[in-house]
Structure 1
Amino acid sequence: MPKHLGLTILSMIAIGAVNIVPRLAVADVPGASTRASQRERINIDKGWAFAFGNATDPSKDFKYGLRPFFFAKAGYGDGPANSDFDDAAWRRVDLPHDWAVELPFDARGNGNHGSKAIGHDFPENSVGWYRKVIDVPESDRGRRISIDFDGVYRNSVVWVNGHYIGTEPSGYSGFGYDITDYLNYGGRNVIAVRVDATVEEGWFYEGAGIYRHVWLSKTDPLHVGKWGTFVRPTVDKGGATLDIDVTVDNDAKTDGTFSLLQDVVGPDGQRVAHAEMTGLTVKAASDGTFHGSVKVTAPHLWSPDTPDLYHLKTTIVSEGRTVDTYDTTFGIRTITFDANSGFFLNGKPMRLKGTNNHQDHAGVGTAMPDALQAWRLNQLKGMGSNAYRTSHNPPAPELLDDADRIGMMVLDEHRMMGTTPEIRGQLERLIIRDRNHPSVILWSVGNEEWALEGTPLGTHLADEMQDIVHRLDPSRRTTVAASSSGRGVSVSADVIGFNYGAQHDVDAFHQRFPEKPAAMTEEGSTLSTRGIYFDDRSKVHLNAYDRQGRPSYSLSIEEGWNHVIARPWMSGMFVWTGFDYRGEPTPFGWPAISSQFGMLDTTGVYKDSAYYLKSVWTTAPMVHLLPHWNWQGKEGQPIDVRVYSNAQAVELFLNGKSLGRKTMVANSHLQWDVPYQAGKLEARAYSDGKLVANAIVSTSGRAEKVALTPDKHKLAADGTDVSVVWVNVEDKVGGIVPTASDRIKFDVTGPIRIIGVGNGDPGSHEADRTVDRYEFLPVSQWRSLAVDGTGDQTEVAEAVDTTSWRDPLQWLPPEAQPPVTAGLVLRGQFSRPTTQPGDKVSLFVADLAPSQRVYVNGLPVETTVVDGNRQVVLDVDGLKSENSLSYVIPTPKGGVPSLADVSVGGSRWGVVRINHPAGPWQRSVFNGWAQVIVQSTGVPGRATLKASGEGLSAATAQFDVK
């Protein structure tokens, strides 16, 4: 943490509007020169090499940790941590990447984590290695360079150029390392990351791998510290005061003297305030925090309806030149949690209409593209939600950026209660990283910590953690989400968070602690399958009518909302959950693989309960009718028909005949028992006697065609933008067939790729992602023999006794070195791989010398260069149980040891890769719906997605990528 030094306000100037853009150029700072050493933040997501290691067998983990002095001496990283390791055979991936979503489902997998083949029973799938080569120019010498990870699940170890850098056990906290001292300037640099996801951190699907962004940051030695600004607005009559803290790091070996310039730019791009602080000093190898304030007149207040944002540009000028600029986005607004009147935003009462959500989406798992994060928030906002709880961990930074921009209030949650250096450090990182976001209205320091909820230790730890939060951010309050209340953590919370009204006597608590504000941090926990209206436990499907999921545990969605609004002192509620997510397949075990708590399914299709919330959370006229009207075989039998609406009355019609008009009860629903008759069921909603909305469900015809509906047809050619495409099976007249289950195949042409598919079925075991799966066989038992030349040698023959040959990996003293000859034969062995039809097998070989000769089983082979790597395509049928790989090369300068030194245990000399090719992209629709997510590849052009199914007319969707 930065040291908080004495604060001095040297010069503060409030100015009128100036026509200037939000991102001020360096040239806008009077009298300041520029140089290339100013701040750069470079995304390095593209082009990582990835391979599975092994959690229990070092020989299958690329012999990681077996090198002498591996962890005893600096720079002795081995296996993939060695900068000379050859990853040519590895798969290439772009980040964010979740390898768990690519794994098959398995009954042995942990059901709470989605029954994926990962964890203690699957050591071959539980460790992933990532490697990336970056070039750092000589001109960067003298700058501070760090690598920043937004999130790695989990237990990551980072190596740079063979040097151990650090370990981060958390799967959710962002972290970074200053790697300045370990870089090769003007040369090649290797970043290696080992990720071990064997141990689970939560009780829900968490993914695996580098599932958030990675950045390379470059600054002058004198610079604004990481997350080094904090803007605290105070609103008063006619204006706002911005208190601004800036932490400046000085990594130089001499004291730094500088001026600090602050420019505030409003939502319209005009500068609204300016301040200067001059003559400031930070001692060498130290840091300091400086405080100032500026006034903003007639501020635009941030809210869900008006998410207006401001920008602060902080500039450091030292010795007449600009050495750093740092941009901070913030908003101006007030938040109040009142013990008697609930929540207020900008002085106005507002109910929190919230949802709980994990970072998980159909098709992509936890590795969500930024555009998908925004799409999910908009789906929630579309049903009237104004608040989002990041259950139960720090969110991706981009989610908060989108919440700021879209207008979604956030309850930002820490992962685990505690005050140890590790846990405290994670809490501090969360607060400092996120405290400038206007969307964040409340911090949560814990969730259902059962060992602490009723204990004095729980009270103490909650107090200590809240003190930490308040020191770092005095502008917001904290909560602890509790499953029991009245003692322990609940009596310490600034704002009590009740998880499920049925588990608390909330009125008794309010009477006992009348000074304590409250919110329902979890409510509902209802269980429903989208599009299903009768329980079918054999398929792990539950009917979608709103009801108590677990009567002794929670309320229905309707009961929960009425429970909250009946109490003016209750700030609002967060439904468990917004989206379905993998894992926690309550009330089932295998073969269920996802939860059914969501108001939306895993693909983001609204369930019926979402429409109930829309009817009570929004004011635009709406009516929703359920169930579907395909009940062949139930003619004459009563069907439970329900209607949600925010109108005053609704009249129901069957095939044009009125079944009666009923008055809506506020925050409730209407219900009819309707004998089934094929045709059209219609609900007409009225307010003040006028028709304001209607909804129709009709008996569909048979499935005839596929329909594609992208959320957008224009994509940025940045290699990251996505379009979320609904896939429906329709009848002849274009009605969705609500019982359809056809399998749909997908193909793309042009500059897009498919990154995931899903259908919302909690029992579906179809693949979300289809990717090539690689296995590796090492070439081992290396032997070397000095020979007279580099031409054809009999020593490469299939049957040669190599017992007297030298082990080239064994160190020998100078006096024991073999004689230096013109040539050298290197010979290793590899086993015949086990393959399946369609597999491709390649032998990757080293490029040891321009004149090298390569032999397999004594026969010369021609190597092909693919992406700069030499490989040989092997005919598995022609291989023997044991096979030889031989090189004939000129003797390296300095003899054999110089070759062995860079062999990385022989792993650079040869590896056999078995490629299990990806299957076709396909997915069955579930109750007529599925989803496919397409992403731009980084190249402009026209692109097409095609969807086809057996016996159905195909559909295409066009995309303009630019």
Structure 2
Amino acid sequence: SGFKSGISSVVEIMGYNYLGNGDIDAHRSQFKQQPGMGTEEGSTFATRGIYFTDDAKHYQSAYDKKPRPTFYSIEEGWKFYAERPYLAGMFIWTGFDYRGEPTPYGWPSVTSYFGMMDVCGFPKDNVFYLKSWWGKEPVLHLLPHWNWSGMEGKEMDVWAYSNCDEVELFLNKKSLGKKKMEQNSHLEWKVNYTPGTLETVGYKDGKKVLSDVQKTTGKSENIKLSLDKENVLKGNVSVVTVETTDKNGLHVPTSNDEITFSIKGGKILGVGNGDPTSLESDQFIDDICLLAINNFKERKGTSATLPQQLPSYLEKEWTEAFKDRDYKKQAPSYIYKGEFDLKNNSVSNVVSFFYKKIGVETVVFVNGSKVESSKEDSQKYILNASILKEGKNTIHIAATPLQKVKDWDVMNTDPGIIQVITPAESWKRKLFNGYAQIIIQKDENVKEVVLSASGKGLRSASLNN
């Protein structure tokens, strides 16, 4: 809206953001030699697969509607630019939904609603309006879906996006009328909902060239996995579409089933479904927690030979570890004692003690049991759940002391850290209005990766790639 002043008066091509921000025709009459283009138009709201706005659920109807008084629908915007030869065209805000700016809502919406596609790249209906008039291939797209159980007899808005000359609508094989398609427009009918088959037929030069169908489906019974073969990414990364079908193999557009995934020969990188209000995890990764060893104490040993079984010691024999240590008069060995707290002791957890060297020779005991170091790493001790317990655990370290070579040598007094790895829960995602997506990566030197999917009450599926 800053045109007619400043840099806008001297740039070769004027960029306009939103028709409602100023009078573009008036600006053109003043700067007749300056061509222009829409650098940002649209900003319509749409939730993929939703055809009734529900503010309580943060759902915006996917019909192309004027979003706000000073903004225009996609169709209104494109007609304005298409009709003016001095305007080169327009950029839509935006191609994809994106994280943040969840206009017109706030939390728990976490993505925008502006996209022609959702964050997974699943197309919203507006895509087919643009495809009709921005491309050369014949297009016919019918909306909405035809699964409206409990709404029998209710009047529904039925739209067709197409670049055909005419489009005819049928409900259960009965014609509801043929309409002529105007340039850069769409067609509408009012139809009382009756389960069955809604079909559009597109004509060019009086001949049928295309059809599109929306059928009332049964309940979800099968999981279907489809590999996106057109967009294989580097590093053996593939994108897979997840959906459910009914007993007749029809896609169920209202399915919100939760699907659980597993994989062999590869790894899962992420899951999504395009739901702007979804707070589900996009990634399921292991939880890593580090626990300090507290209340660290010591007692002197009488021999450099370290115990292989933990003796009993009186509590009064223990003193604060390393306090006032005389490194020129050290004992032959020391026994150290510390504590760490476990919130739980699940057998699926991986608990390790990473030892920071406080002695030359070392023997480690946890809750009285001797623990051997890992073969791969002599300073790593994997702690079996059978010797651990929920709450306070005790660790003893028997060690022959490190010696100072120079007076200024700094001696380590930190025994180490406890690491607890809680394995991630199974990868899963709810479908959103019939679709979800999973991204997988094949391991190197593996011939085949197998992705499996299951869900409650559904027939499982697998995909080999």
Of 900, 903, 915 in structure 1, the residue corresponding to residue 421 of structure 2 is 915
**Counterpart of 2:100?**
583
Contact preservation (8 Å) 2:371, 2:381: no
**Counterpart of 1:888?**
399
* Separation in 2, partners of 1:509, 1:656: 52
Of 307, 327, 334 in structure 2, the residue corresponding to residue 825 of structure 1 is 334
**Counterpart of 2:193?**
676
Letter in 2 for 1:502: G
**Counterpart of 1:873?**
383
Decide whether aligned partners of structure 1 residues 842 and 798 sit closer, same or farther in structure 2, where only a CA change above 3 A counts.
farther
1:499 matched to 2:56? The reply is no
Q: How does 1:249-260 map to 2 (within 5 A)?
A: none
**Counterpart of 2:143?**
626
Decide whether aligned partners of structure 1 residues 920 and 857 sit closer, same or farther in structure 2, where only a CA change above 3 A counts.
closer
Q: How does 1:664-743 map to 2 (within 5 A)?
A: 664-712=181-229, 720-743=235-258
Decide whether aligned partners of structure 1 residues 850 and 570 sit closer, same or farther in structure 2, where only a CA change above 3 A counts.
farther
1:797 CA drift (Å): 4.8
Task: Structure 2: state its 5+ residue gaps.
Answer: none
Q: Render the CA deviation track for 1:576-607: whole Å, top value 9, x for unaligned.
A: 11111222221122222221111111111110
* Separation in 2, partners of 1:879, 1:677: 60
Contact preservation (8 Å) 2:343, 2:391: no
Letter in 2 for 1:771: I
Q: Render the CA deviation track for 1:465-522: whole Å, top value 9, x for unaligned.
A: xxxxxxxxxxxxxxxxxx6444456456554432222123222333444454433222
SS at match of 1:611: helix
Task: Structure 1: state its 5+ residue gaps.
Answer: 1-482, 809-816
The structure, 1 or 2, with the larger RCO (C-alpha pairs under 8 Å, 6+ apart) is 2
Q: How does 1:178-189 map to 2 (within 5 A)?
A: none
* Separation in 1, partners of 2:321, 2:219: 76
* Separation in 1, partners of 2:379, 2:5: 64
Q: How does 1:881-960 map to 2 (within 5 A)?
A: 881=392, 883-892=394-403, 894=405, 898=409, 900=411, 903=412, 906=414, 909-959=415-465
1:555 matched to 2:65? The reply is no
Give the TM-score, by structure 1 length: 0.45
1:777 matched to 2:283? The reply is no
SS at match of 2:77: helix
Q: Render the CA deviation track for 1:587-641: whole Å, top value 9, x for unaligned.
A: 1222222211111111111100011111111111110000001122222322100
SS at match of 1:538: coil
* Separation in 2, partners of 1:881, 1:666: 75
Q: How does 1:752-763 map to 2 (within 5 A)?
A: 752-763=266-277
Q: How does 1:192-203 map to 2 (within 5 A)?
A: none
Letter in 2 for 1:768: D
1:712 CA drift (Å): 2.8
* Separation in 2, partners of 1:527, 1:739: 20
Decide whether aligned partners of structure 1 residues 889 and 639 sit closer, same or farther in structure 2, where only a CA change above 3 A counts.
same
Decide whether aligned partners of structure 1 residues 629 and 887 sit closer, same or farther in structure 2, where only a CA change above 3 A counts.
same
Q: Render the CA deviation track for 1:866-906: whole Å, top value 9, x for unaligned.
A: 57761231648636647444240353462796563xx5x83
* Separation in 2, partners of 1:651, 1:819: 99
RMSD: 3.1
Contact preservation (8 Å) 2:340, 2:392: yes
Identity percentage of aligned residues: 39
Q: Render the CA deviation track for 1:371-395: whole Å, top value 9, x for unaligned.
A: xxxxxxxxxxxxxxxxxxxxxxxxx
SS at match of 2:448: strand
SS at match of 1:832: strand
1:778 CA drift (Å): 2.5
Contact preservation (8 Å) 1:820, 1:895: no
Of 487, 494, 508 in structure 1, the residue corresponding to residue 26 of structure 2 is 508
Q: How does 1:556-575 map to 2 (within 5 A)?
A: 556-575=73-92
**Counterpart of 2:363?**
853
Decide whether aligned partners of structure 1 residues 523 and 835 sit closer, same or farther in structure 2, where only a CA change above 3 A counts.
farther
1:824 CA drift (Å): 4.8
1:939 CA drift (Å): 2.6
1:566 CA drift (Å): 2.2
Contact preservation (8 Å) 1:892, 1:898: no
**Counterpart of 2:170?**
653
1:847 CA drift (Å): 5.8
Give the TM-score, by structure 2 length: 0.88
SS at match of 1:666: coil
Contact preservation (8 Å) 1:744, 1:923: yes
Higher helix proportion (structure 1 or 2): 1
* Separation in 2, partners of 1:867, 1:514: 76
**Counterpart of 2:53?**
535
Contact preservation (8 Å) 1:828, 1:885: yes
Decide whether aligned partners of structure 1 residues 891 and 486 sit closer, same or farther in structure 2, where only a CA change above 3 A counts.
same
Aligned length: 460
* Separation in 2, partners of 1:823, 1:495: 85
Contact preservation (8 Å) 1:796, 1:827: no
**Counterpart of 1:93?**
none
Of 279, 298, 306 in structure 2, the residue corresponding to residue 792 of structure 1 is 306
* Separation in 1, partners of 2:143, 2:332: 81
